[in-house]
């Protein structure tokens, strides 16, 4: 569980900046921030977010541009766990309520914040072509991936104390050391869409060992470290 101590003390403007950068899920210039949210990230607010490692600011040209770091994504996902800033009014409190409900909903849907807010390009209109004959029914994934999923599930059963318990991906990868990493990663990304599977990042990154970090699977804009299969 994440405690408020894992979330630094931030001003309302700093909270707003993190939230806008999260929901846009891309690099934003100060011009874009003004257009979207009515403020720019400058001065002490910018300096503190950079110093805390939450935001990366490109100062090589104007307007300056800002983007969340991995630590910034972690903190913005957990903003709702900390008390609201004393200088914040009803708007900041309401925003934290929205973030709390967003977190609960995405957790229930097993969707990461990075995937939920990920930018997608506009789809080009599909060309009108005659439908092709239906192909014979096949499995929904290559046989190799299906086999690896079975091995991941078997490894989980060996490692978990009970169905739904969290298991580190580092331990799972040890059981599949003879399988190339790309195949395991592809399998985990497929499995996260299953109803009984959850793969999440560890919120308290200070608790992660180098082994845990190396074993993470990238899903959306997040490194994920833990796997659970089945009901808790």
CA distances from 58 to 63, 127, 149, 221 (A): 9, 40, 41, 19
Q: pLDDT tens across 175-228, in order?
A: 999 999 999 999 998 888 888 898 988 877 778 889 999 999 998 778 999 999
**How far, in Å, CA of 232 to CA of 220, rounded?**
25
Q: Tokens in use for 213?
A: 């970090």
Q: What mean pLDDT is predicted for residues 97-109?
A: 85
Which residue has 């990042």 as its token pair? 201
Decide if pLDDT at 25 tops 80: yes
Instruction: Spell out the long-range contacts of 46-55 with Cβ–Cβ below 8 A and sequence spacing 24 or more.
Output: 48/10, 48/14, 49/14, 49/17, 49/18, 52/8, 54/8, 54/18, 55/17, 55/18, 55/21
Q: Is the pLDDT of residue 141 over 70?
A: no
Q: What mean pLDDT do residues 116-145 have?
A: 50
| Confidence band of 137 (pLDDT split at 50, 70, 90) | very low
Mean pLDDT of 140-169: 81
20-34, 119-133, 179-193: segment of lowest average pLDDT? 119-133
């Amino acid at each position: 569980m994440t405690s408020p101590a894992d979330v630094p003390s931030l001003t309302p403007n700093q909270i707003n900046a993190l939230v806008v950068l999260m929901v846009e899920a891309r690099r934003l210039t100060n011009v874009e921030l003004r257009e979207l949210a009515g403020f720019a990230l400058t001065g002490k607010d910018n300096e503190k977010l950079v110093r805390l490692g939450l935001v990366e600011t490109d100062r090589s040209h104007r307007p300056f541009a800002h983007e969340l770091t991995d630590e910034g994504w972690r903190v913005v996902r957990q903003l709702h766990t900390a008390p609201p800033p004393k200088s914040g009014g009803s708007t900041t409190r309401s925003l934290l309520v929205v973030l709390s409900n967003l977190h609960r909903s995405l957790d229930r849907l097993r969707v990461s914040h990075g995937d939920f807010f990920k930018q997608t390009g506009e789809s080009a209109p599909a060309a009108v072509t005659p439908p092709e004959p239906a192909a014979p029914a096949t499995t929904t994934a290559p046989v190799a991936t299906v086999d690896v999923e079975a091995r991941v599930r078997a490894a989980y059963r060996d490692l978990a104390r009970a169905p739904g318990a969290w298991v580190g991906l580092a331990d799972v990868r040890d059981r599949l050391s003879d399988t190339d990493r790309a195949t395991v990663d592809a399998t985990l990304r497929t499995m996260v869409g299953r109803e009984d599977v959850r793969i999440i990042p560890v919120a308290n990154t200070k608790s992660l060992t180098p082994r845990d970090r190396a074993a993470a699977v990238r899903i959306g804009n997040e490194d994920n470290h833990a796997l659970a299969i089945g009901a808790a």
